[in-house]
């Protein structure tokens, strides 16, 4: 996971591989760190993500709520995996988290 901080309000997390029960705590720790540092908008670059499980989705929803309460939110970009695109469409994640599909 790579973090790019853009000013005081925006940050991007470049993620890779599977986001599942075995490693979703890393996503939680990273998002929590950015939240504690006062960031408002966090963009998640999914260009290298090959899969996401319910534990990863739970972390996204939890932090979307926290960042939204602060006047910001999460944004997902560069989804390359057709499986992830289908899953996000099926659960209508775009109703809760901004998704910019470019894959």
pLDDT of residue 22: 93
Three-state secondary structure string covering the chain:
CEEEEECCCEEEEEEEEEECCCCHHHHHHHHHHHHHCCCCEEEEEEEEEEEECHHHHHHHHHHHHHHHHCCCEEEEECCCCHHHHHHHHHCCHHHCCEEECCC
The per-residue pLDDT for range 45-65, each reduced to its tens digit, is: 999 999 999 999 999 999 999
pLDDT recorded at residue 102: 54
Looking at domain 2-100, its CATH superfamily turns out to be STAS domain (3.30.750.24)
Q: Which residue has the tokens 């939110």?
A: 73
**Domain-wise residue ranges, the chain:** 2-100
In the chain, the percentage of residues whose pLDDT exceeds 90 is: 97
pTM beyond cutoff 0.85: yes
Give the pLDDT mean for 83-100.
Answer: 95
Residue 103 has pLDDT above 60, yes or no: no
User: How far apart (Å, rounded) are the C-alpha atoms in residues 35 and 41?
Assistant: 9
- What pLDDT does 101 receive? 74
């Amino acid at each position: 996971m790579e973090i790019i901080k853009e000013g005081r309000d925006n940050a991007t997390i470049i993620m890779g591989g599977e986001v599942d029960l075995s490693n979703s705590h890393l996503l939680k720790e990273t998002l929590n760190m950015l939240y504690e540092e006062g960031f408002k908008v966090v963009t998640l670059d999914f260009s290298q993500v090959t899969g996401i499980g319910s534990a990863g989705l739970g972390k996204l929803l939890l932090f979307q709520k926290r960042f939204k309460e602060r006047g910001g939110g999460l944004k997902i970009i560069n989804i390359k995996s057709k499986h992830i695109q289908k899953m996000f469409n099926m659960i209508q994640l775009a109703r809760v988290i901004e998704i910019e599909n470019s894959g």
